[in-house]
Structure 1
């Protein structure tokens, strides 16, 4: 379907289990460890549970693949059996002969003899039963009886029960308490977390021979939130998303395509247990606040004997107060939501006004105290000396270390816009966006910024200074180096050996290539350490005290 379009050797998100696509997240590895410890101990039972599609079969197959050579395993996949049918299925799985029809006693004896023979040969026997929530209480009890055969240190038959959460509930009944007490290793497999989901998608794309970055970060985040971390749903959504990307002739999956794929897939899925619990909880909270339920409570109390007029008036007063309080809370929530919507709309307008990198560079010049033209603000074609523009990628910590505002490239649904990073403190960043100061969490920046920045620096040295250079450029370099190194100027206008040595010393101090040549990288570092006029990142105190309204912000910018 889309295999040739993306250059896959096969479709990466098939829901048919394949050993080559075995992906073990941290939770899968933890489950595997619990089960291995439980089965290698003296007990007879281990149990793995999890919601539909969370990867229980993946963990089971990984465990079977990792069994040592002295283990033999049997696998029963859909155990809707009676007691006799279960024992017959076990015999069939281990290739044991039996007569038809056979009794429970005859089948049990055949299995016992097989287990004893394996024990004499040093072989440990494992029975893995998938979809074990379908086993009846009688069949589970028959399994427990099979594990009664044991030596002084261990059971001769180990049983791994794999099933949905209903299996846990079934084992909590009184009639199965003996079996529940024999389970020495148990693990409930939770869905994948967001980081594991990104690794999971990239892993399957790589195994299929494709690029790992086909899905954008925002697409992965949306898939993670909608699939709730269930691998099978992730596969269905990603498969549909790749199909839609092919139809649109796009070589990558963005958030819009992911959203459409999620809608198509999840429209036919039942809600998970977690969602149901949340819905039930919120529903209970809603009903608790509803006047109808309170009225029923009042009527019930009256029926039970609360008949005095005085008590009735007290209940009525409490009901009215509760109703008024509820209405007040609802009004406050509506007002907060209205304010949040207005702020979101305003923020969207600021983004729309910040699409030009030259406009952001003009604002950066303004922080230096200069009014720059559009031509001077175009980093692509070079700024007018003594100002210079440097473009690169860096981490937030590196920019904080430079202690200067920079223009950063942000993304809104893969569309770039530009803001000035003006301060970082207390896990929040201050941005100058279309002339307004906006404070946002650092985590927001992580989602919208890929490290691209534009950096403005100042130098009156307009060319590389090296051996045989002379004149005013050398004199300026001499003074800057003396200031940076806290040394006395050499008072030279010729690039001599002593000045070259100072350049090399400065470069080595700053972690640069100590070649003794003062090029752009060396001059940038000199500017950073010696400039008294460059704007600095806002301090934590300045960020907390700075209003974000445009009228006051204009005043604060002039004070930079």
Structure 2
């Protein structure tokens, strides 16, 4: 096994539907939000579909972990049953007693109805989940529909979740099942992962299994996504095989070659060319083209050689004096360019330059100008104190990379591309702001700050904590503590933070909005403000009033609009382990 070799606590790529390994991509968040909404809405049916291996069962098991304590669940894994067998299975799952060897639909239906009424009186909810529902016979689906006829004025007494492959949608579209289809209150189709999600998915599972190392090269994951088509089950199987091979080869990382071999093994590909004759013809054609090009180049060079045998300079066109002038101008230009280079280097603080007397005079003049500029702004000692020997982070990538480690993300600008796009895979948003120390305190998240060193340029650094009137900053591998007063002399006021927004969030949430993000907000207000709030996808007056109450309690603007400030404050209360600026 490769566990000890890669410092893993367990295998990261098993195909069992373990909710701990569920990668919360935007698609999975939306799927869970739709399922939760369908259950809480009190409707009859909720539908979840997806291709084989896209993670439907894993999402369902995650949902089961989130169900309230006052929920009774019947989970049917084998739908290849007739009506009597299905009702008997439901009774067994809910621990409903019925006569032994009972074959009466009426008896079983009555027993289930009595149980549902009893649960309703006790304030309990009952959920029936059927996996692989595309295999359920039409008459059995009709029997299931009849179970939802038992209802009150407000809700159905039985919530049913149908989980299946795309064929289930086709089945429910048939005319004979239109009554059931009309009772579906929430639908979601789970699609395969895209490339960015595949990269994040692989990294997530490795991290959950106990390792923070990068075990797969980016090229290998790109190949994996191309061949596995973004289907998690195939990704798991291939990655597991690739880790075994990499371990046997004593490799610290799965490269593209190892991944290709694992893909061939899992998908049953030979890895050999099926058309060798075609390859040979291509080879002959390639070598033929190369030969023609070679002959052409040799002929051209020969022609140039013949031309060069004639007089180089036409009579009276270029004299020795002209050639001397040209040479002199070249020398003077080279000297001028090197002087310019020395001046530029000198203005950046380089003093150990050996040159002739003339260039030394240029250095002295430039240094005095640069020194005067810096002394006027009183910056050199502060910048030296901040950066030391660290290189300047002129684009902010290195500083953002450090901030991501605080969110337990491993980011490389060269391998992962744009930082904000990479962060969005994990549900984090980049926010560019301009403000002061108080605005940073209110947001209470680590950030990267933009500093100006006058003529020397601008650079970024990460601020990780504020304690009183001092700030902890990180520049590359250097950590320093600087007073806010000192930093104020060179901070431009610009900063960028990473923060976690709810799925479906677009700038603000306000009265009248309808989205999945509203479900999230309602859930939080129900927990933090009032248990009387009815969670739904509609932003109603009750939610508005509860939000205003929450905002005023926390000294936020009580406008009933959930913007970044409000959501950050909520996250600080309900989420554990998020990085904070204030301790």
Change (3 A) 1:518 1:207: closer
Does the CA contact (< 8 Å) of 2:147 and 2:158 recur in 1? yes
Change (3 A) 1:131 1:457: farther
Aligned positions, number: 333
- Cα displacement (A) at 1:520: 9.8
Does the CA contact (< 8 Å) of 2:134 and 2:168 recur in 1? yes
CA distance in 2, matches of 1:517, 1:155: 68
Query: 1:304-349: per-residue Cα shift (whole Å, max 9, x none)?
Result: xxxxxxxxxxxxxxxxxxxxxxxxxxxxxx9xxx9xx99xx9xxxx
SS of equivalent residue, structure 1 residue 65: helix
Does the CA contact (< 8 Å) of 1:87 and 1:107 recur in 2? yes
Aligned to 1:47: 47
TM-score by length of 1: 0.53
SS of equivalent residue, structure 2 residue 60: helix
- Cα displacement (A) at 1:194: 1.5
Query: 1:467-515: per-residue Cα shift (whole Å, max 9, x none)?
Result: xxxx997973553564x7xxxxxxxxxx8xx67614735788xxx4489
Change (3 A) 1:127 1:518: closer
5 Å-filtered alignment, 1:306-345, equals: none
Change (3 A) 1:479 1:106: same
Mapped pair 1:172 → 2:173 = yes
5 Å-filtered alignment, 1:235-384, equals: 235-267=236-268
Does the CA contact (< 8 Å) of 1:241 and 1:258 recur in 2? yes
CA distance in 1, matches of 2:455, 2:373: 18
Aligned to 2:428: none
- Cα displacement (A) at 1:267: 2.4
5 Å-filtered alignment, 1:49-448, equals: 49-99=49-99, 100-267=101-268
Aligned to 1:27: 27
Does the CA contact (< 8 Å) of 1:96 and 1:110 recur in 2? yes
Structure 1: tracts of 5 or more residues without a match: 270-333, 346-368, 372-383, 389-455, 466-470, 485-494, 530-560
- Cα displacement (A) at 1:16: 1.6
Change (3 A) 1:57 1:459: same
Query: 1:161-182: per-residue Cα shift (whole Å, max 9, x none)?
Result: 0001111111111111100110
CA distance in 2, matches of 1:125, 1:84: 20
Does the CA contact (< 8 Å) of 1:87 and 1:108 recur in 2? yes
Query: 1:25-82: per-residue Cα shift (whole Å, max 9, x none)?
Result: 1101101111111222232100100000101011111111111122111111011000
Aligned to 2:17: 17
Mapped pair 1:479 → 2:366 = yes
SS of equivalent residue, structure 1 residue 5: coil
- Cα displacement (A) at 1:220: 1.4
Change (3 A) 1:263 1:124: same
CA distance in 1, matches of 2:248, 2:35: 44
CA distance in 1, matches of 2:391, 2:74: 69
Aligned to 1:366: none
- Cα displacement (A) at 1:130: 0.5
Does the CA contact (< 8 Å) of 1:481 and 1:502 recur in 2? no
Does the CA contact (< 8 Å) of 1:192 and 1:231 recur in 2? yes
SS of equivalent residue, structure 2 residue 261: helix
Change (3 A) 1:152 1:248: same
TM-score by length of 2: 0.51
Does the CA contact (< 8 Å) of 2:50 and 2:190 recur in 1? yes
CA distance in 1, matches of 2:77, 2:390: 70
Does the CA contact (< 8 Å) of 2:47 and 2:163 recur in 1? yes
Structure 2: tracts of 5 or more residues without a match: 271-281, 294-332, 393-452, 458-583
The CA RMSD over aligned residues, in Å, is 3.9
SS of equivalent residue, structure 1 residue 238: helix
Out of 203-212 and 100-109, give the one that drifted further. Answer: 203-212
Does the CA contact (< 8 Å) of 1:386 and 1:462 recur in 2? no
SS of equivalent residue, structure 1 residue 4: coil
SS of equivalent residue, structure 2 residue 4: helix
CA distance in 1, matches of 2:25, 2:185: 23
Out of 108-117 and 255-264, give the one that drifted further. Answer: 255-264
Does the CA contact (< 8 Å) of 2:17 and 2:61 recur in 1? no
Does the CA contact (< 8 Å) of 2:339 and 2:359 recur in 1? no
Does the CA contact (< 8 Å) of 2:217 and 2:253 recur in 1? yes
CA distance in 2, matches of 1:519, 1:167: 60
Query: 1:242-297: per-residue Cα shift (whole Å, max 9, x none)?
Result: 1111121111011111111112212279xxxxxxxxxxxxxxxxxxxxxxxxxxxx
CA distance in 2, matches of 1:154, 1:517: 67
Does the CA contact (< 8 Å) of 1:35 and 1:185 recur in 2? yes
